């Protein structure tokens, strides 16, 4: 199990002001300056130790080195957050945080349910756990494990992107009757990118056509070598249906966790990540927070993303009110002033004033950023944009996804589709099944509804049928984006290109009754064609553009005259032609464009 080596690195909260020198950035990450300069070079930035880089570049570097970014600015209000590193003697072991990933229908949800059920003693708290986005179980040998029960790869990456690395171990579920599929590979890549060790759960082993060996060999192609093939990745055969192998899987996780030597300091101000948040009708804003360090207690004052609050109540995954939650414990937190977003990081601070100040500062920053990005602006700006927008064709869409992270990722990707002529407009994006109201909204704007890992409920399906609203389902983001791109390309106006086909010179001008002036020409280059467009050039200046009324050879109308031949030409609605003028003959072709 060589995986432990990769994880010895300490993940730091690295404060990044608006500008920072390369040397100071290296210092704050406790990385070698040379490594930072190398990483910058890989990004195409040439900078020496004393050179200043901007916050965005610094953030990329910090993320690349696997640390957490904490943006600060001249308003150093954020300093109220305690970021002092823990002393080794204060650290205590903490449970691992486990995320289950894998291809759709391979049994992620079933496995999470089965694990949860086997571990809740009957009678205890009614034997029911409530869904808060994560839960804890105890293995037979007494190890405590924390499971995130929001499977979904996009959520995993989106949380990571927001600076909340909340997974220590990934359980990769592969169905024994289906083997390695695209999202299996995606999951492997996500885990690798995050530097998180894998455990392979070969599921559906109860099925007659189960072929666990095939799973093992196919994983080899993706550099996952399981123990049964003498590799260092644990693999366990399980059945979410019969419960077979579940205990082995839990022990495998516990073993992997021991190797990782996960530690935290329960005696400091709490810090954690939001894994779910919602506005509850009865209880107000509620966030499920996974405590990552310190201990969160009732009465604690905290800031979380752009929101703040004071812990009014903490509720465990068993639905019980608790007074505190230590490292790796998921709890529902009540007492927020608004709903934060999944991936937001919670920090306990000392006073309400500090919390309010930091939240206000962050909100301001976010607003400025949005304004800069053009999301909201002054009235003049809006009007100017509305004017400019007239030329822009829009493809409206409604997006529903299984989790907040996916929805965000899709919206971001869709907003990038387009150019100055067409763009995708996301009318609404949200989490959960496609409802009648989504269909109504889509109908109003003649938009399709896109479901990512979600389906329309029955009334919505009926409404869509009746109103002729298109609903499209996807489970792979790239497919979704490709389709939308193709649809948006359909909105592009065809490009009209001109092709010169010939030149003619006017040798003489005749007046013909009933026709008007006719030019006696010599085609000097290419061909003259009756159907083509013509321009009259006098001393290389265009004096007229139009079409031909007649094209004749001798007295006969013709369609085409070749170079070197003489012909007669008369223009539609134009008479001012003179000897010596040159006629340029061109055709237009339309070319379909793609984004
Ligand atoms: P997810 O999309 O990965 O969350 O997969 P689900 O948990 O929804 O499972 C997909 C389907 O596989 C469901 O119909 C489950 O009942 C079935 N399933 C899951 N695990 C097992 C298993 O161990 N054995 C059998 N026979 N079926 C399973």
153 in ligand 1 pocket by Cβ < 6 Å?
Answer: no
What is the radius of gyration, based on Cα positions, of the chain? 33
CA pair distance 170, 85, nearest whole angstrom: 26
157 versus 315: which is more confidently predicted?
315
Comparing 128-142, 144-158, 416-430, the range with the smallest average pLDDT is: 144-158
Q: What are phi and psi of 179, to 5 degrees?
A: 60, -155
Query: According to the model, what pLDDT value does residue 497 have?
Result: 77
109 in ligand 1 pocket by Cβ < 6 Å?
Answer: yes
244 in ligand 1 pocket by Cβ < 6 Å?
Answer: no
> 13-72 in CATH: which number?
1.10.10
Residue 203 alpha carbon, nearest atom of ligand 1: 23
Query: According to the model, what pLDDT value does residue 390 have?
Result: 53
Residue 103 alpha carbon, nearest atom of ligand 1: 3
505 in ligand 1 pocket by Cβ < 6 Å?
Answer: no
How far, in Å, from the CA of 26 to the mean position of ligand 1?
47
CA pair distance 351, 357, nearest whole angstrom: 10
Contact of 145 with 253, CB cutoff 8 Å = yes
110 in ligand 1 pocket by Cβ < 6 Å?
Answer: yes
Query: According to the model, what pLDDT value does residue 365 have?
Result: 74
67 in ligand 1 pocket by Cβ < 6 Å?
Answer: no
Query: According to the model, what pLDDT value does residue 155 have?
Result: 64
HEC assignment per residue over 519-531: EEEEEEEEEEECC
How far, in Å, from the CA of 167 to the mean position of ligand 1?
23
**CATH pick for 92-263 out of 3.40.50.300, 1.10.150.120, 3.30.460.80, 3.40.50.620:** 3.40.50.300
- Cα angle value 69/71/72 (rounded, 5°): 145
- Cα angle value 486/489/493 (rounded, 5°): 160
Where are the CATH 3.40.50.300 domain residues in the chain? 92-263
Query: According to the model, what pLDDT value does residue 531 have?
Result: 87
376 confidence band (pLDDT: 50, 70, 90): very low
How far, in Å, from the CA of 106 to the mean position of ligand 1?
6
Where are the CATH 2.40.30.10 domain residues in the chain? 277-314+324-367, 495-591
Query: According to the model, what pLDDT value does residue 374 have?
Result: 40
153 confidence band (pLDDT: 50, 70, 90): low
How far, in Å, from the CA of 463 to the mean position of ligand 1?
30
Task: Name 429's bridge partners.
Answer: 399
How far, in Å, from the CA of 210 to the mean position of ligand 1?
13
How far, in Å, from the CA of 71 to the mean position of ligand 1?
42
202 in ligand 1 pocket by Cβ < 6 Å?
Answer: no
377 versus 309: which is more confidently predicted?
309
CATH topology of domain 391-489: Rossmann fold (3.40.50)
How far, in Å, from the CA of 6 to the mean position of ligand 1?
32
- Which residue's CA lies nearest to atom 16 of ligand 1? 110
Rounded to an integer, the average pLDDT of 212-240 is 94
How far, in Å, from the CA of 214 to the mean position of ligand 1?
19
108 in ligand 1 pocket by Cβ < 6 Å?
Answer: yes
Q: What is the mean pLDDT of the chain?
A: 84
CATH topology of domain 495-591: Elongation Factor Tu (Ef-tu); domain 3 (2.40.30)
296 confidence band (pLDDT: 50, 70, 90): very high
Where are the CATH 3.40.50.10050 domain residues in the chain? 391-489
8 confidence band (pLDDT: 50, 70, 90): low
User: Which of 247, 171, 180 lies closest to 213, judged by CA?
Assistant: 180
Confidence check: pLDDT of 4 > 80: no
Query: According to the model, what pLDDT value does residue 264 have?
Result: 95
CA pair distance 443, 19, nearest whole angstrom: 47
Query: According to the model, what pLDDT value does residue 118 have?
Result: 72
49 in ligand 1 pocket by Cβ < 6 Å?
Answer: no
- C-alpha separations of 79 from 53, 295, 367, 420 in Å: 21, 20, 21, 42
Rounded to an integer, the average pLDDT of 81-99 is 90
251 confidence band (pLDDT: 50, 70, 90): very high
**DSSP line for 225-272:** -BGGGTSSB-EEE--TTT-TTHHHHHHHHHHHHHHHT-EE-TTSB-EE
List of residues 6+ apart from 515 with CB closer than 8 A = 549, 550, 570
> 277-314+324-367 in CATH: which number?
2.40.30.10
Report the percentage of the chain scoring pLDDT > 90: 39
Confidence check: pLDDT of 291 > 60: yes
How far, in Å, from the CA of 176 to the mean position of ligand 1?
11
Query: According to the model, what pLDDT value does residue 439 have?
Result: 85
423 confidence band (pLDDT: 50, 70, 90): confident
Confidence check: pLDDT of 507 > 90: yes
């Amino acid at each position: 199990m060589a995986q432990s080596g990769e994880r010895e690195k300490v993940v730091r909260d690295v404060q990044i002001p608006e500008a920072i020198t390369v040397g100071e950035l290296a210092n704050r990450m406790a990385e070698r300056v040379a490594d930072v300069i190398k990483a910058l070079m890989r990004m195409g930035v040439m900078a020496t130790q004393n050179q200043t880089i901007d916050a965005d570049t610094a953030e990329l570097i910090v993320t690349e080195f696997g640390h957490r970014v904490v943006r600060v600015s001249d308003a150093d209000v954020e300093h109220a957050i305690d970021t002092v590193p823990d002393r080794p003697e204060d650290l205590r072991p903490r449970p691992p945080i486990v995320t289950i990933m894998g291809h759709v229908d391979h049994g992620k949800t079933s496995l999470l349910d089965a694990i949860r059920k086997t571990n809740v003693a009957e009678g205890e708290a009614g034997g029911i756990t409530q869904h808060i986005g994560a839960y804890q179980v105890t293995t037979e040998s007494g190890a405590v494990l924390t499971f995130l029960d929001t499977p979904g790869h996009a959520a995993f990456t989106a949380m990571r992107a927001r600076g909340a690395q909340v997974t220590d171990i990934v359980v990769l579920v592969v169905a024994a009757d289906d083997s390695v599929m695209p999202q299996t590979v995606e999951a492997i890549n996500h885990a690798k990118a995050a530097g998180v060790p894998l455990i392979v759960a070969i599921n559906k082993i109860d099925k007659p056509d189960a072929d666990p060996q095939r799973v093992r060999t196919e994983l080899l192609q993706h550099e996952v070598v399981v123990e049964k093939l003498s590799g260092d990745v644990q693999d366990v055969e399980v059945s979410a249906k019969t419960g077979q192998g579940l205990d082995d899987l839990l022990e495998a996780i516990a073993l992997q966790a021991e190797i990782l030597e996960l530690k935290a300091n329960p005696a400091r101000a709490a810090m954690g990540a939001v894994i779910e948040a919602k506005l509850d009708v009865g209880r107000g804003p509620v966030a499920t927070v996974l405590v990552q360090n310190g201990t969160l207690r009732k009465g604690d004052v905290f800031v979380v993303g752009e929101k703040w609050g004071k812990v009014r109540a903490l509720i465990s995954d068993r639905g019980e009110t608790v007074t505190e939650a230590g490292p790796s414990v998921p709890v529902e937190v009540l007492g927020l002033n608004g709903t934060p977003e999944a991936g937001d990081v919670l920090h306990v601070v000392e006073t309400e004033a500090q919390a309010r100040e930091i939240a206000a500062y962050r909100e301001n920053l976010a607003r400025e950023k949005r304004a800069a990005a053009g999301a909201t602006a002054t009235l003049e700006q809006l009007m100017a944009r509305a004017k400019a927008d007239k030329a822009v064709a829009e493809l409206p869409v409604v997006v529903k996804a299984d989790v907040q992270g996916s929805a965000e990722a899709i919206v971001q990707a869709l907003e990038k589709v387009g150019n100055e002529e067409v763009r995708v407009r996301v009318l609404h994006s949200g989490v959960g099944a496609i409802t009648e109201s989504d269909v109504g909204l889509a109908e109003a704007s003649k938009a399709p509804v896109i479901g990512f890992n979600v389906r329309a409920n029955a009334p919505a399906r009926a409404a869509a049928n009746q109103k002729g609203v298109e609903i499209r389902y996807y489970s792979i983001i790239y497919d979704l984006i490709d389709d939308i791109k193709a649809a948006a390309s359909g909105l592009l106006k065809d490009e009209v290109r001109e092709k010169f086909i010939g030149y003619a010179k006017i040798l003489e001008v005749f007046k013909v009754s009933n026709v008007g002036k006719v030019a006696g020409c010599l085609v000097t280059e290419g061909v003259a064609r009756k159907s083509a467009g013509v321009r009259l050039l006098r001393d290389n200046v265009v004096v007229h553009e139009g079409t031909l009324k007649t094209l004749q050879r001798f007295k006969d109308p013709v369609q085409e005259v070749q170079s070197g031949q003489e012909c007669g030409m008369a223009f539609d609605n134009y008479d001012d032609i003179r000897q010596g003028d040159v006629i340029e003959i061109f055709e237009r072709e339309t070319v379909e464009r793609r984004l």
